[in-house]
Amino acid sequence: MSVGSVAAGRLRHRVTIQKNGTATRNAYGELEPTSWVDVASVYAEVRQQSGTESTDADRVAERITHHVVVQYREGITAAMRIVWQNKVLNIRHVQDLHGMHRGMLLLCEQDAGEVAA
């Protein structure tokens, strides 16, 4: 395997990449997605990295972070999300592995209570 390539054998999880189809503005003027549209269904390596809990207004919020490795694909941004095993992984950062346009590392965060529709 050459430096920068992604070993196909490690890409064993089927994931769906989605983008925001439409959005509305909330009370703070921020765009909130109202629907998600499938962009692609690809194979990936999904690894859970960490999990944390916090308390906010007497509610426990659990955050789980994942590293998702996929073959390089133009147009993937931090505004998109991954659906994997009925879980929603919000993409927080996109990194071109070794800058060679062969593989991508997507740093994702999952809200434990969020489930794909």
pLDDT digits (tens, 9 = 90+) for 91-104: 999 999 888 889 99
Q: What average pLDDT does the segment 27-44 reach?
A: 87
| pLDDT of the residue at 19 | 93
Q: Using CA atoms, how far apart are residues 66 and 15, in angstroms rounded to an integer?
A: 13
* Summary mean pLDDT of the chain: 83
| pLDDT of the residue at 3 | 40
pTM exceeding the 0.85 threshold for the entire prediction: no
Q: Using CA atoms, how far apart are residues 78 and 93, in angstroms rounded to an integer?
A: 5
* Structure-token pair, residue 34: 């109202």
| pLDDT of the residue at 55 | 57
Q: Comparing 68 with 61, which gets the higher pLDDT?
A: 68
**Which residues pair with residue 63 across a beta bridge?**
52, 111
- Residue 62 DSSP code: E
Would you say domain 8-115 falls under CATH 3.20.20.140? no
